């Protein structure tokens, strides 16, 4: 456990302790520091713990609990256990989840409907992944559930302004779903014949999300050709999850697209977290583990060092107050 805490602490920059301030003053004095977000590199990736973990911050009488999820689809995974433990040990006003936009509003009915339709099966498999315990926990606790993602059109505008063609964003949006489809057991691997139909549907959905015409990557063959141009190989069993990672120093062309998308997403998420904390709210964030590694220096710059970092939220509650 001490080694894990040391790894996490190494990613942080020194912050100003808030203990001497009143709770009201602490909230009022919070200002985002997105400039301190850490680039996702192979070095930072290799420093990340192998399984899920968390960081807990004191903000006056409020708490920020950031669960760094290892994306999982089983109820007995550490990710699921940490999320359940967060609700058991702490009280939250706001829960921020990965995978859908804040623009959908508070407690979006379609998210709860999706979770209800894709919740735990008899064997413990959960197609909705960690969104299921996150959304259901928020509902049971009476906390407000928000998506932690910017609107897709905001991401599109930012990337186009930085010189990325929209076809790359569309192609990447579909590509990044392959690990999710494998986790949901819709695919065995990227050479599964089912990939063609999944990609075709995803292209249509993402063209609509990004307000692109039907001529942009109109079908699977065009998308597969785009992928070959980018990563220099056909889409087949050689596909690896790292190809969709936002590695600033990654070896795949799609890493640069992922990194550009990540910059927009993480800047947005950081400002969203600080905005809710500044209102005096206690906040739970559930995002992929890489996001916490990226966010640690920025959060530490705003909030000071966490009162706990590790994978035992019962211990965190004892150290930080529930």
Rounded Cα distance between 82 and 88, Å, is 10
State the average pLDDT over residues 203-229: 98
Q: What is the pLDDT of residue 307?
A: 98
**What's the predicted TM-score (pTM) here?**
0.87
At residue 246, what are phi and psi to the nearest 5 degrees? -80, 50
pLDDT at residue 220 is higher than 80:
yes
The CA distance from 231 to 242, in Å, is 12
Q: Which two tokens stand for residue 68?
A: 């760094």
Give the model's confidence band at 122: pLDDT under 50 very low, under 70 low, under 90 confident, else very high.
confident
Residue from 280, 275, 281, 284 nearest 316 by CA? 284
Q: Is residue 5's pLDDT more than 90?
A: no
Q: What is the CA radius of gyration of the chain?
A: 20
List the Cα angle 157/159/164 in 5-degree steps.
Answer: 125
**Mean pLDDT in the chain?**
92
Encoded tokens for 311: 């994978």
- pLDDT band with cut points at 50, 70 and 90 for residue 285: very high
Say how far apart CA 220 and CA 292 lie, in whole Å: 34
- Characterize 56-84 residue by residue with b for buried, 16 or more Cβ atoms within 10 angstroms of its Cβ, and e for exposed: bbbbbebbbbbbbbbbbbebebbbbbbbb
Domain layout of the chain by residue ranges: 2-150+268-320, 153-261
Neighbouring CB atoms inside 10 A of 159's CB total 20
DSSP assigned state of 127: T
């Amino acid at each position: 456990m001490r080694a894990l805490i040391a790894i996490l602490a190494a990613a942080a920059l020194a912050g100003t302790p808030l203990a001497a301030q009143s709770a009201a003053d602490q909230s009022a004095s919070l200002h985002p520091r997105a400039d301190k977000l850490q680039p996702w590199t192979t070095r930072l990736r290799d420093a990340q713990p192998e399984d899920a973990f968390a960081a807990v911050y004191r903000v006056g009488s409020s708490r920020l609990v950031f669960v760094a999820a290892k994306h999982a689809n089983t109820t007995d995974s550490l990710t699921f256990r940490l999320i359940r433990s967060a609700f058991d040990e702490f009280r939250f006003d706001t829960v921020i989840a990965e995978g859908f936009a804040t623009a959908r509003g508070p407690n979006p009915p379609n998210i709860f409907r999706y979770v209800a339709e894709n919740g735990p099966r008899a064997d413990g498999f959960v197609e909705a992944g960690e969104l299921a315990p996150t959304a259901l926990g928020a509902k049971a606790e009476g906390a407000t559930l928000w998506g932690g993602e910017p609107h897709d059109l905001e991401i599109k505008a930012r990337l186009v302004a930085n010189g990325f063609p929209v076809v790359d964003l569309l192609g990447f949006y579909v590509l990044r779903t392959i690990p999710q489809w494998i986790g949901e057991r819709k695919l065995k691997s990227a050479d599964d014949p089912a990939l063609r139909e999944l990609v075709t549907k995803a292209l249509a959905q993402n063209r609509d999300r990004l307000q692109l015409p039907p001529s942009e990557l109109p079908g699977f063959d065009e998308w597969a050709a785009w992928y070959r141009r980018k990563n220099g190989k056909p889409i087949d069993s050689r596909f690896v999850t790292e190809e969709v990672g936002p590695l600033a120093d990654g070896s795949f062309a799609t890493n640069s697209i992922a990194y550009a998308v990540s910059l927009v997403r993480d800047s947005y998420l950081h400002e969203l977290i600080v905005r809710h904390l500044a209102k005096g709210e206690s906040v739970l964030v559930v995002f992929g583990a890489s996001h916490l590694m990226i966010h640690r220096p920025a959060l530490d710059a705003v909030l000071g060092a966490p009162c706990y970092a590790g994978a035992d939220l019962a211990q965190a509650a004892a150290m930080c107050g529930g």
